[in-house]
């Protein structure tokens, strides 16, 4: 990936930032922690560290290895919670991306997202594992109503909560010039896909796009931590 950049900010409401991210070559990840005093911060940091360590120890990155990296982090967090009662209930989202030649590989748990932007089209690749997503799929609320629903923060899957975990994953062909965007719900929960798309349309400079997206989050009240990674393929 070229011109890849990331940023994490605490927002205007939260007391601490429970988001984390890493970028290393053609691999990147975003996590968003939850649960208890400092629990979310610990879970998201642990997940990023364990995912990065796992992937750095293998020679060939595949879709199944991205899944295994998340499962490895899940096991490590579950084991830590078992030995530290004060951390009970903590967990984290995780979206992990790797680029191999002309293929984009990804794995995901929770409601942090992966988008692909190309030729003025913004496509959400991952599916949120959340209560409101299930309500949307059932036809009970609209996608716009997700942002204001009282249960919008309830996840149906998270890393570090249970010993068994289902991890979504996928692979898709990519072309030179396509852009990826990873984010926590601090972006997607406050800024619409149409606004995200218009910002990406407005500039090919990912640093500038990142700052414009952050500005949009703060204009919307920045009620959560926000983490964004943008890269050009």
Q: Mapping DSSP to helix (H, G, I), strand (E, B) and coil, where does residue 155 land? A: strand
Which range has the worst mean pLDDT, 63-77, 112-126, 140-154? Answer: 140-154
Residue 37 is predicted with a pLDDT of 52
Of residues 15 and 217, more confidently modeled:
217
More confident residue, 171 or 101: 171
- Structural domain boundaries, residue 183: 2-10+17-232
pLDDT of residue 47: 96
In sequence order, the 6+-apart residues with CB closer than 8 A to the CB of 135 are 141, 146, 149, 151
Question: How far from the centroid of its chain's Cα atoms is residue 162's Cα?
Answer: 19
Domain count along the chain: 1
pLDDT class of 38 with cuts at 50, 70, 90: low
- Distance, in Å, from the CA atom of 204 to the CA atom of 42, rounded to the nearest integer, reads 35
pLDDT greater at residue 85 or residue 83: 83
Question: Which pLDDT value is given to residue 16?
Answer: 86
As a whole number, mean pLDDT of residues 117-128 equals 96
The H-assigned helical ranges of the chain are: 39-56, 63-83, 131-137, 185-188, 193-202, 206-219
CATH of the domain at 135: 3.60.40.10
Least confident window among 99-103, 165-169, 228-232 = 99-103
pLDDT tens digits, 189-224: 999 999 999 999 999 999 999 999 999 999 999 989
Kindly provide the b/e burial profile for residues 85-118, where b requires at least 16 CB atoms within 10 angstroms of the residue's own CB.
eebeebbbbbbbbbbeeeebbbbbbbbbbbbbbe
CA distance linking residue 49 with residue 47, whole number of Å: 5
Residue 94's pLDDT is 98
Please write the tens of the pLDDT for every residue from 175-186.
Answer: 999 999 999 999
Summarised one tens digit per residue, pLDDT across range 132-177 is 888 888 888 877 777 788 777 789 999 999 999 999 999 999 999 9
Q: What is the mean pLDDT of the chain?
A: 93
Q: Which of the 8 DSSP states describes residue 21?
A: E
pLDDT at residue 130 greater than cutoff 90: no
pLDDT for 137:
82
pTM: 0.94
Whole-angstrom distance, CA of residue 34 vs CA of residue 112: 12
pLDDT at 131: 86
Lowest mean pLDDT across 69-73, 87-91, 113-117, 138-142: 138-142
pLDDT at 150: 75
């Amino acid at each position: 990936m070229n011109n890849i950049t990331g940023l994490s900010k605490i927002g205007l409401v939260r007391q601490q930032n429970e988001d984390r991210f890493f970028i290393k070559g053609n691999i990147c990840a975003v996590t968003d922690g939850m649960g208890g005093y400092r629990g979310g911060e610990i879970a998201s940091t642990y997940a990023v560290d364990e995912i990065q360590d796992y992937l750095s120890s293998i020679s060939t990155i595949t879709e199944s290895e991205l899944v295994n990296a998340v499962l490895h982090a899940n096991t490590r967090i579950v084991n830590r919670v078992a030995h530290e009662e004060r951390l009970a209930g903590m967990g984290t989202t995780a979206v992990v991306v790797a680029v191999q030649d002309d293929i984009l590989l990804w794995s995901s748990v929770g409601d942090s997202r992966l988008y692909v932007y190309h030729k003025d089209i913004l496509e959400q690749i991952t599916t949120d594992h959340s209560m409101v997503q299930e309500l949307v799929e059932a036809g009970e609320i609209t996608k716009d109503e997700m942002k204001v629903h009282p249960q919008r923060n309830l996840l149906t899957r998270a890393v570090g909560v249970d010993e068994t975990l289902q991890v979504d994953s996928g692979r898709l062909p990519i072309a030179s010039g396509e852009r990826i965007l990873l984010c926590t719900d601090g972006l997607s929960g406050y800024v619409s896909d149409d606004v995200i798309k218009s910002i990406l349309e407005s500039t090919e400079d990912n640093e500038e796009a990142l700052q414009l997206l952050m500005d949009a989050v703060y204009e919307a009240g920045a009620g959560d931590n926000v983490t964004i990674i943008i890269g050009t393929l």
